[in-house]
């Protein structure tokens, strides 16, 4: 088996770090918040063994990829451009793109905007919702009643960083635990997606044992990456949601017509809150090959790697 290879690719004006394993049709793996290429560590060797060239990247702002200073440099159109540039820098003309969390939204909108490059799309944890609708900041501001939704909390530069960066490892452990099926709080506990007035996210994180999928070494890896980079690049994704809404207005209501796959967790708030988006798949993903809900939380490819790997290989083989 070919071992995984790290590379820094020139992607337009930016540099994108990728980890590559295997040979065959290209499969681009895009992580979410707050993660890195490493969240695909259990998929890379399996996809490679199945005959695919699996490439997991560090999204702009993360890991060893470029971290532009301008918050506007993290708009969706720039991330789509990065993905196209990665495909071309790898010497390919097309790829299947698969994303988790924010990576699912990046993957979906890459497929929407660049259908000639991204010939199929797999979405993990966050369902596809076409661009359009009300301005995102107004939607998020209206959630939570007297509490603040975490996306709104992330908007102001420096605010969330001040909570997270004094203890990156502890914050990550709590955040990962809060959204994992085996460590999340009981249903009647305070929701960790919301912040009390004047409070922090951390106050609602569980403490104690790590989730079963997360070893101390895994946590060390993630923490070391964010200790080195800080969190601003990662958080800037949230700070561009209104800008993306404007940029993608011409795609309002548009379906993704390529073959697609959705995998979600039965105990993941993203899947539950966006159940209407899943119900709309006959219109929004007309070439959906499968939609599967697994018994897990938000970190689906790490919580349920064997099932995710089987479903991804079946999807890729069907193409």
What single string gives the DSSP state of each residue in 227-259? Answer: HHH-SHHHHTTGGGHHHHHHHTGGGTTPPP-S-
Using the 8-state DSSP alphabet, how is residue 203 labeled?
G
Coil, strand, or helix at residue 55?
A: strand
Per-residue pLDDT at 1:
61
Q: Say which residue the tokens 């219109």 belong to.
A: 283
For residue 244, which of 111, 74, 28, 115 has the smallest C-alpha distance? 74
For residue 268, which of 101, 106, 37, 43 has the smallest C-alpha distance? 101
Per-residue pLDDT at 72:
97
Cβ(233)–Cβ(67) below 8 Å = yes
Which residues of the chain are under the pLDDT cut of 70? 1
Per-residue pLDDT at 143:
87
Per-residue pLDDT at 77:
98
Catalytic residues: 101, 298
């Amino acid at each position: 088996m070919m071992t995984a290879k790290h590379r820094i690719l020139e992607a337009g004006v930016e540099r994108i770090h990728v980890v590559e394993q295997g040979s065959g049709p290209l499969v681009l793996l895009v992580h979410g918040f707050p993660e890195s290429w490493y969240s695909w560590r259990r998929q890379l060797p399996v996809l490679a063994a199945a005959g695919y060239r699996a490439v997991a990247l560090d999204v702009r702002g993360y890991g060893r990829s470029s971290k532009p200073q301008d918050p506007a440099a993290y708009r969706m159109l720039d991330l789509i451009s990065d993905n196209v540039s990665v495909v071309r820098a790898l010497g390919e003309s097309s790829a299947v793109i698969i994303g988790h969390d924010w990576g699912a939204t990046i993957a979906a909108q890459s497929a929407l905007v660049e259908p000639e490059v991204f010939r199929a799309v797999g979405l993990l944890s966050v369902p596809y919702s076409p661009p359009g609708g009300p301005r995102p900041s107004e939607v998020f501001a209206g959630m939570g009643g007297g509490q603040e939704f975490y996306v709104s909390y992330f908007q102001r530069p420096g605010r969330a960083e001040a909570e997270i960066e004094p203890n990156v490892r502890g914050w990550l452990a709590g955040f990962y635990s809060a959204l994992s099926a085996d460590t999340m709080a009981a249903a009647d506990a305070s929701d960790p997606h919301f912040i009390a007035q004047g409070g922090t996210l951390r106050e609602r994180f569980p403490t104690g044992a790590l989730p079963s999928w997360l070893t101390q070494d895994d946590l060390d890896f993630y923490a070391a990456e964010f200790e080195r980079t800080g969190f601003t690049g990662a958080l800037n994704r949230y700070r561009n949601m209104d800008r993306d809404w404007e940029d993608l207005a011409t795609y309002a209501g548009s379906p993704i017509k390529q073959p697609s796959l959705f995998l979600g967790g039965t105990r993941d708030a993203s899947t539950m809150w966006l159940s209407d988006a899943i119900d709309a798949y006959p219109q929004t993903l007309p070439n959906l090959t499968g939609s599967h809900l697994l018994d897990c939380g938000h970190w689906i490819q790490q919580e349920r790697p064997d099932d995710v790997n089987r479903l991804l290989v079946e999807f890729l083989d069907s193409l």
